[in-house]
Structure 1
Amino acid sequence: MPIREILQLGNPVLRQIATPVADPTSAETARIITDLADTVAHWRATTGYGRAIAAPQIGELQRIVLLRLPGHDIWPLINPSIIDRSPEKLVVWDACLSFLAIFMQVERHAWITVRYQDPAGHWHETRAGHEDDLAELLQHEIDHLDGVLSVDRVVDVKSICTREEFERRFRADSPYGR
């Protein structure tokens, strides 16, 4: 089980723009997907957090995102891009495996449409909304591919709190409480 180190806030690799994957069917792409799946599963098991991860978080500057939603199969998205978004925005709690000690409120679109490739190279589109908090999750992960972190999207610095304080006051009503 190749559990990889997750790069932490301050590591300059997290601020770089990931390169498009030339061949989604390659052995290298499959290896990255396996590493992402194993790493996020480990974090979920040991911390209770971890619904998704982006390749730059493990030092791979490739446009790959992996979702691991409770009760669902893993879902790798290769070369994802947001092609449509709602005019409506929501303020949501956000956290990141690259800085799990802090939580903050950010603004996200209520729904988005994402175009991506699967590991066989086929293109798909999915509309993500409130169900499974998929819209906010995909926006967070696709931001990683562009070198953008949730700390860049804080709506009010007064919302920033420690993980302990978040768990005490807000976790039960957030996606992390599910």
Structure 2
Amino acid sequence: MPVREILQLGHPVLRQAAQPVADPTDPAVAALVTDLSDTVAHWRETTGYGRAIAAPQIGVLQRVILLRLPGRPVWPLINPSIIDHSSETMEVWDACLSFLSIFMRVTRYPWIRVRYQDLQGSWHETHAGAEDDLAELLQHEIDHLDGILALDRLTDVKSICSRQEFERQFKTDSPYGR
């Protein structure tokens, strides 16, 4: 399948809420998942960044996200939603393929519980925490489905920095340095 263009900051689709997928077994959903997988793999190869992607980032307003974590199978989540989270929050570095030149500190929950469907339509729940920075990654991608960008979770405007400066000062101690 083709590598799709990733919409960039300012594109109005990134601020729209995605619609639920009516039938996860529809072949069009599998094709979308393939496109998401190919696209994020391409970005990882060419930029060194990209562990996950949401369908709105390629202009598809459906509730589908895909994780491509190193050493793990590709993981599509259809109709994901956060059903529980920790009471405390934390600050983490964040960036996005839709504005990869900008890094910032954002507020996230240290752990979440997510309910989602697989491509066969079965429902699952998963607990995500610090391992593989899964909690922050899933929050970032699910936010995309609601038209929320990492910039909306910004802790302090003074934390915004360029990709080059982030890599010089902070990358080693962040999830992006792994």
In which range does the TM-score fall when normalised by the shorter chain? over 0.9
What residue in structure 2 maps to residue 61 of structure 1? 61
User: Any stretches of 5+ residues in structure 2 without a counterpart?
Assistant: none
1:79 matched to 2:79? The reply is yes
What residue in structure 1 maps to residue 142 of structure 2? 142
Residue deviations 1:55-82, cap 9 Å, x none?
0000000000000001101000000000
Cα distance, 1:100 vs. partner? 0.1
Matched residues in 1 for 2:28 and 2:71: separation?
27
Secondary structure of the 1:105 match is strand
Matched residues in 2 for 1:74 and 1:177: separation?
20
1:42 matched to 2:42? The reply is yes
Matched residues in 2 for 1:105 and 1:23: separation?
36
What residue in structure 2 maps to residue 157 of structure 1? 157
Secondary structure of the 2:139 match is helix
Secondary structure of the 2:90 match is strand
1:155 is aligned with what amino acid?
T
- Residue identity over aligned pairs, in percent, reads 75
Matched residues in 1 for 2:90 and 2:127: separation?
16
What residue in structure 2 maps to residue 29 of structure 1? 29
Matched residues in 1 for 2:43 and 2:25: separation?
26
1:89 matched to 2:89? The reply is yes
Matched residues in 1 for 2:100 and 2:109: separation?
23
User: Any stretches of 5+ residues in structure 1 without a counterpart?
Assistant: none
Matched residues in 2 for 1:165 and 1:11: separation?
25
Matched residues in 1 for 2:95 and 2:164: separation?
12
What residue in structure 1 maps to residue 105 of structure 2? 105
1:130 matched to 2:140? The reply is no
What residue in structure 2 maps to residue 12 of structure 1? 12
Matched residues in 2 for 1:124 and 1:153: separation?
27
Matched residues in 1 for 2:177 and 2:64: separation?
26
Cα distance, 1:88 vs. partner? 1.3
Matched residues in 2 for 1:87 and 1:140: separation?
18
Matched residues in 2 for 1:25 and 1:104: separation?
37
User: Runs ≥4 in structure 1, deviation > 3 angstroms?
Assistant: none
RMSD of aligned Cα (Å): 0.4
Secondary structure of the 1:115 match is strand
Cα distance, 1:132 vs. partner? 0.2
Cα distance, 1:109 vs. partner? 0.4
1:171 matched to 2:171? The reply is yes
